[in-house]
Amino acid sequence: MGGGEDTAATEKVMKFSSQEEYGLRCLLRIARPGGKAGLTLPEISEAERISSFYVAKLLRILRRAGLVKSARGKIGGYTLSRPPDQIAVGEALAALGGRLFESDFCTDHTGIEETCARSVDCSIRSLWRAVQNVVDQVLSKTTLTDLLRNEQEMSSLVSPLVQIPGSPMKSAAGAGAIQARGSGPSD
């Protein structure tokens, strides 16, 4: 890249909200083995370095989604509603913020017109659908138990999960075309 170009735009591939990130961190804190029966809101807040107010908001969302349960009293606190190997990351992210691409996206983002100018033939919509399918594949196969691993183990676990059945990119011609476009001197 040239000296004056903004590299920040090319380095940011995808964004997740702080609600999704911190919500997952709270779930993982609760899921950690070896702890007491339930963790209190202040314990989670202190361990994850997230404000008590925000942790309370996140735990309310997670409780309403059926991912955590709370108990009052001396031995109360928050626990997972199911074992961590039965809670998919996709389920947690859906509760915390939703999907990247929803089918109603095009009707909600039409520009200045009532319907999008590309509503009949949209290559962008096809791309977002494919990206969402890949994300869904990975997130539906990844559980909280998986996320309790260290980073190297997790990388080894998720790398073989991405498969696009019937994708033209899987064919030799498709893969070669994409590779040829991405291997030029301007990259």
- Where along the chain do its domains lie? 17-166
What's the confidence (pLDDT) of residue 179?
36
Among 14-18, 38-42, 73-77, 109-113, the least confident range? 109-113
The pLDDT of residue 31 is above 70 = yes
Task: Indicate the residue type of 102.
Answer: E
What's the confidence (pLDDT) of residue 177?
36
Q: Work out the percent of the chain whose per-residue pLDDT is above 70.
A: 64
What's the confidence (pLDDT) of residue 116?
59
89: which DSSP letter?
A: H
Q: Which residue has the tokens 């890249």?
A: 1
pLDDT band (50, 70, 90) for residue 65:
very high
The pLDDT of residue 18 is above 90 = no
10 Å CB burial of residue 65 (0-12, 13-18, 19+) is: middle
The pLDDT of residue 178 is above 50 = no
Half-sphere CA count of 78, side-chain side, radius 13 A: 25
Closest C-alpha to 45, from 17, 77, 14: 77
What's the confidence (pLDDT) of residue 163?
56
Higher-pLDDT residue of 126 and 46 is 46
Q: Which residue has the tokens 């361990």?
A: 47
The pLDDT of residue 173 is above 50 = no
What's the confidence (pLDDT) of residue 1?
44
71: which DSSP letter?
A: E
Question: For the residues 104-120, what does the mean pLDDT come to?
Answer: 57
| Secondary structure of residue 78 in the 3-state scheme | strand
DSSP-based helix, strand, coil % in the chain, nearest 5: 55, 5, 40
What's the confidence (pLDDT) of residue 180?
36
Question: For the residues 10-29, what does the mean pLDDT come to?
Answer: 79
What's the confidence (pLDDT) of residue 176?
36
The pLDDT of residue 141 is above 80 = yes
What's the confidence (pLDDT) of residue 186?
44
What's the confidence (pLDDT) of residue 169?
46
Architecture in CATH of 17-166: Orthogonal Bundle (1.10)
Question: What residue spans of the chain are helical by DSSP H?
Answer: 8-11, 18-31, 41-48, 52-64, 89-96, 105-108, 123-141, 144-147, 151-158, 172-181
How far is 99 from 174, CA to CA, in rounded Å? Answer: 28
